[in-house]
A and B are shown apart, each in its own frame.
Chain A
Amino acid sequence: MSALDVGAFSAREKGVAGLLGGIGVLLLIAVVAGVLAPAYLLYLVSLSAMYMLLSMGLNVQWGYGGLINFSVAAFFGLGAYGSALLTANSSPISGNVSPVIALFGGLLLAAVLAVLIGYPTLKLRDDYLAIASLGLAEVVRIFILNENQWTAGSAGLTGIPLFFADWPVLGDLSYPYVFQVGGTALFYMRQPVITGLLNLVLVGAFVAGVYLFLRRIHRSPWGRVLRTIKTDEDLAETLGKDTFAFKMQAFVIGSLIMALAGVFYTHLVLYVSPPDLQPITTFYVWVAVILGGTGSDRGAMLGGFTIVAIQQGTRFLNDAVQLPIGPAPLRLMLVGLLIILIVRLRPEGILPPERELIWPDAMRGDGDE
């Protein structure tokens, strides 16, 4: 293992990048051929990016610190509902708040819940967080389902604005929007495509920001303490590390990233309802992290992408060939098969962390390489 190749890509990463590029080209061909609507492609890519956020969030908790969180759906849901309750015109609480402000509302809600659930459980053995979070996810979902006066209950929330709805220029484009250079019209785009593009830019910014943030904290003394906690909490304690504080920080950061995905989801789909908080989301995200490679940010992103590929790909499969099995059960079967294959063939995931996680600048001038 050479420590200096931090910027370079391994053969495996090149392979994965090639595969993703290939899929991208295929999708583009499908768009050009008219099989796939451009707006739908943009939606798919945005959805993948949203799952990447969820997996990166779980990776901070489980991949870095070994925290077993089974309430991914709840933190996702809090972000989604927090933002929806503030912005939707059908909101029973407030409504019509600017999405940018509501973003922080959703995050705050998730952070508060993360601290509340983390405080009593993170001092105990690992298993307790797993059990408590499993219960928590259902409590949050059922609360939202039943407390009509605050959450609109099973009807869900409609009338949610786009994220850019009240932005200066982006908020009041006229459609179809004509791109022109020096008065000559080049081409035009319809509203769904423009909206899809803007959403993609938004989630792209979220993913890039989160990735850069995580890369920094993962390859730092902070990340190193968490990785020590993951294998041996007692060891970290004997070296004078306040493991409770470190675990709490990882738990809150992970939950915030999940909530960020939820906020984006609200403004992507423009409708949230209690089924969005089904536990199945949690398990999809777990599969994504394990598939990608526990503890690896890039792996988590790849896993998030794969999950969407399975979820959405199975829809088309049914159109293309006559299957004796419906898309929903097929989806679950494929996920199950995938888990078995990974555990059998590559338990460390597709892109496990391969390098020493030391910030590269600190190693410059290191004579022994």
Chain B
Amino acid sequence: MSEQSLVSDGPVLDKADPVLLAEGLEKRFGGLVATDDASIAVERGSITGLIGPNGAGKSTLFNLMSGFYEPDGGRVTVNGVDVTGKEPHEIADQGMIRTFQTPRKPEDMTVREALLVGPHDQTGESIVPLFTSPSTVEREERRSLERAQEMLERFEIGDLATQPATDLSGGQMKLVELARGMMAEPDLLLLDEPVAGVNPVLADKLAGFIEELNEEGITFLIIEHDMSFIMRLADPIIVLNQGSVLVEGPPEAVRSDERVIDAYLGGPSE
């Protein structure tokens, strides 16, 4: 049957040009094994979906790959550079930016200030150049401000630029997070439940924005529970169950795969 052959048993790791490659990741919390030999590869230019029932280890995997958890075993490579056990900021420097399930919002900042934190390696982040080369700092700031405004307008929230970053609706916060991630000019964006708690209209818009950005060359890895959202957007879809990858394949095939249905329904996973 054609459908059966489309779905790979376990992860597909021999991709032509993976931005992110995680191999055999393991994480135990005391006696609880959160991820067990989890491996995934994210092909450059793809929108890869990561789904799985609650407790499957999706967020743990994100935390392992982005450096927030130290893996007990395995290896993570971003853009060909081994980043296993590195600090989150070192991994971000390799071009992989993540968002969080609950939007993070800096207090006492306007939306555009929050966006200005995004760009990498700003000259003005070091103290000495603030005084020795103020014109470089100013030029960069002006450019970042312009980009921030462009980014907000692109996401149709340009009018929020000078609003306090904490006075936003859930959906607007998700957009601001995406915009801030984009300010860092990433190769790969890891989105953790981008439409959780977002109304369907805005979710639709968000899907459109993600597709647009993807066409411009940004790779996405998205955790999402909203099936219609992820099925519409992502290809391939990786299904995580009990700490490791169950299957991987195109959305239609994954959706009708018996093993996936069993995993979600809590049935036998064999």
Residues of A within 8 A of B (CB): 1, 3, 216-217, 220-222, 224-225, 227-228, 230-232, 234-243, 246, 249, 253, 295, 353, 356-359, 361-363, 365-366, 368
Q: How far is the CB of A24 from chain B (nearest CB, A)?
A: 31
Q: Identify 15 new A-B residue pairs, CB closer than 8 A, beyond the known A237-B92, A356-B110.
A: A217-B127, A217-B130, A220-B137, A224-B117, A228-B106, A228-B117, A231-B105, A234-B88, A234-B100, A234-B104, A235-B117, A238-B92, A238-B97, A362-B142, A363-B145
Flag whether B118 is at the interface (Cβ < 8 A): yes
Q: How far is the CB of B103 from chain A (nearest CB, A)?
A: 10
- B127 contacts across to A, CB distance below 8 A: 217, 222, 249, 253
Residue of A nearest to B180 (CB): A239
Once bound together, how far apart are the Cα atoms of A3 and B149, in whole Å?
14
The docked-state distance in angstroms from the alpha carbon of A359 to that of B89 is 25
User: Which among A3, A225, A238, A241 is the interface contact of B98 at CB below 8 angstroms?
Assistant: A238
Number of A-B contacts (CB under 8 A): 122
Give min CB distance, B200 to chain A, whole Å. Answer: 27
B141 touches which one: A236, A353, A359 (CB < 8 A)?
A359
Q: How large is the interface on B (under 10, 10 to 19, 20 to 34, 35 or more residues)?
A: 35 or more
Could you pull out 12 A-B pairs where Cβ atoms are within 8 angstroms?
A: A217-B130, A221-B137, A221-B140, A231-B107, A235-B117, A238-B66, A239-B89, A239-B117, A241-B117, A357-B113, A358-B141, A368-B161
Min CB distance B48 to A, Å, is 19
- Asked if B178 is an interface residue, CB under 8 A from chain A, the answer is no
Does B116 make an interface contact (CB < 8 A)? yes
Within the assembled complex, what's the spacing in Å between the Cα atoms of A359 and B117?
Answer: 14
Please give the distance in Å from A180's CB to the nearest CB on chain B: 41
Contact A238 B88 (CB under 8 A): yes
Whether the Cβ atoms of A237 and B88 lie closer than 8 Å is yes
Which residues of chain A are within 8 angstroms of B88 by Cβ–Cβ distance?
A: 234, 237-238
Note all chain B residues with C-beta closer than 8 A to A363.
142, 145
Taking the closest CB of chain B, its distance from the CB of A217, in whole angstroms, is: 6
In the complex, chain B residues whose CB is within 8 Å of the CB of A362: 137-138, 141-142, 145
Contact present for B117 and A236 (CB under 8 Å): yes
Contact of A358 with B113 at beta-carbon distance under 8 Å, contacts A234-B88, A240-B184 already known: yes
Contacts of A216 on B, CB cut-off 8 Å?
130-131
Of the candidates A222, A231, A353, the one whose C-beta lies within 8 Å of that of B125 is A222
